[in-house]
Amino acid sequence: MAREEMAQVPAQDVARDASYAPTGRTVLTRARERAAYDHETVHAILDAGYLCHLGYVRDGAPVVLPTLYARAGDRLYLHGSTGSRPMRRAGETGETGHGADPGLPVCVTVTHVDGLVLAKSAFHHSINYRSVVVHGIAHQVIDEDEKTAALDALVDHVLPGRAADSRPGNAKELAATAVIRLDLREVSAKIRTGGPHDEPEDLELPYWSGVVPVAPAYGAPIPSDDLAPGTALPPYLTTR
Amino acid sequence: MAREEMAQVPAQDVARDASYAPTGRTVLTRARERAAYDHETVHAILDAGYLCHLGYVRDGAPVVLPTLYARAGDRLYLHGSTGSRPMRRAGETGETGHGADPGLPVCVTVTHVDGLVLAKSAFHHSINYRSVVVHGIAHQVIDEDEKTAALDALVDHVLPGRAADSRPGNAKELAATAVIRLDLREVSAKIRTGGPHDEPEDLELPYWSGVVPVAPAYGAPIPSDDLAPGTALPPYLTTR
């Protein structure tokens, strides 16, 4: 499975317009044909999900936590409570900053698995996927209007239209929620599609080869026990 | 969505037998009722997936990469190529180690999303999920027998039975593949299940509330263009 693995990989020529400029951290060192930096590709991958894996450094060691996110233009918003560690750290006051927020260095990764790729040789097994890796400095969102808009975006990112169809947060709830923002500047996408790449001498082997597609499937909505009688299923749930 | 977020959270009493001892890094600071440390729960979550997010520190900053993994007893094996950065670093020779492998501090996180939780208030929206976070030092697998077994485990972790039903790796392929191992010592699971937890005063509001289940769905296998005629679909694909 070596050639097909999912580690970080190489640059390619991309249009200056509407692309994220590759950096030392986002230039892929291998499988360069799988890299993409254009906004359209990157944003589509980000918008197709709502769960990211947020990485940060704590006491010199890495920490990776599953976290909800939403994209708004060239910015990501990540959700957390005011008590959680990365949220507190993203809002810490710098020693020399006189109240300024130095931010928290993070890496945010979003991955969608699209298929299992079965080759005739064990070595060429792979998976099809789309992933985006974002490096940057996260900051706590303090401004109340931005925070309210970000929380709406987080709800709507999972289910478009839902934010307007629920009771908005009150001042107490807003204070109890932390949101961090991360500008999309140092960003790369990586995509694998298609079937297996077997060695020519393996093609006559009697093993099945091909792709098993995979995608998230949403089941029939299960109403709460305490749902008020007569409450209709909203349109955004009948189409998901 | 504050109370329901997915950040790191608190200890609970667990049986000493067959549990991972909580540490400063794995003791949850919030939502302690969602934590689990017992082997059965942790292993079941790990075995239900094959894609993890591998975090490590590079030049002082976090990096998070999607990576394939398999569990074998109390050990994880992660897959990569010999050229990828974390794999190289996990195998670097320590300055003072006279050839010893100092290993790479990593955090490996596996997350399964089980449902979208819709509450009447925006604040109480959440998702149902199962996640495992593993902290430790990863080492490159050098021993050829262990490496071969680990690669078989990686293939079989995605599709049980597939390793024996493909052409085994040869010496060249084995050399081109890197595997790192991570012992399961500092490990925690976190699980959210069930419906939304709305405020009593919100229950009469006219918004739909409940859970939308979600799970990966596997489509009909798509044969390779170059599949030898008459190659049958193997049983492990008809049952997935």
pLDDT tens readout for residues A1-33: 433 444 333 334 434 468 999 888 888 776 778
List of chain B residues whose C-beta atoms are within 8 Å of the C-beta of residue A2: 80-82, 173, 176-178
Given the candidates 2.30.110.10, 1.20.1260.10, 3.40.50.920, 3.40.50.2000, the CATH classification of the domain at B32-199+224-238 is 2.30.110.10
- Residue A130's pLDDT band, with cuts at 50, 70 and 90, is very high
What letter would DSSP give residue A23?
A: -
Are A207 and B53 an interchain contact pair (Cβ–Cβ within 8 Å)?
no
Q: What percent of chain A has pLDDT over 90?
A: 71
Q: Would you kindly state where each structural domain of chain A is located, as residue ranges?
A: 32-197+230-238
> What confidence category does residue A238 fall into, taking pLDDT thresholds of 50, 70 and 90?
confident
Contact B162 A211 (CB under 8 A): no
A 22-81 residues inside an 8 A Cβ radius of B: 25, 29-30, 50-51, 53-58, 60-68, 79-81
Which has more pLDDT, A56 or A226? A56
Which residues lie below 8 Å from residue A203, measured CB to CB, with a gap of 6+? A120, B226, B228
Chain A: give the shortest CA distance to residue B18, in Å.
24
Q: How many residues does chain A have?
A: 240
Asked whether the predicted pLDDT for residue A184 surpasses 70, the reply is yes
> Band of the pLDDT at A229, cuts 50, 70, 90?
confident
Neighbours of A108 (CB within 10 A): 26
Q: Which of B211, B217, B227 sits opposite A215 (nearest CB)?
A: B217
Tens of pLDDT along A196-228? 999 999 999 999 999 999 999 999 999 999 888
DSSP chain B: --TT--S--------STTBPPP-TTTS-SS-GGGEE-BHHHHHHHHHT-SEEEEEEEETTEEEEEEEEEEEETTEEEEEEETTSHHHHHHTPPPTTTTT----EEEEEEEEEEEEEEE-SBGGG-EEEEEEEEEEEEEEE---HHHHHHHHHHHHHHHSTTTGGGSBPP-HHHHHHEEEEEEES-EEEEEEE-SS----GGGTTSSS--EEEEEEEEE---EE-TTPPTTPPPPHHHH--
Residue range B73-120, pLDDT digits in tens: 999 999 976 556 666 667 654 444 445 678 999 999 999 999 999 999
- pLDDT over 80 (residue B208): yes
CB-based burial of residue A121 (10 Å sphere; 0-12 exposed, 13-18 middle, 19+ buried)?
buried
Does B239 touch chain A if contact means CB atoms closer than 8 Å?
no
Stretch B38-65: mean pLDDT: 96
Quick one: pLDDT at residue B229?
84
Per the DSSP assignment, residues forming a β-bridge with B19 are B38
A-to-B residue pairs, Cβ atoms closer than 8 angstroms: 367
- Whether the predicted pLDDT of A96 surpasses 60: no
Residue A92 has pLDDT above 50, yes or no: yes
Domain A32-197+230-238 has CATH 2.30.110.10: yes
Give the best residue of A166, A197, A209 to mutate against chain B (max B CB count within 10 A): A166
Mean pLDDT of A90-106: 65
* Beta-carbon contacts of residue B174 (< 8 Å; ≥ 6 apart): B144, B147, B148, B151
- The C-alpha R_g of chain B, in whole angstroms, comes to 21
Tell me the whole-structure pTM to 2 decimals. 0.88
B181-200: pLDDT as tens digits: 999 999 999 999 999 999 99
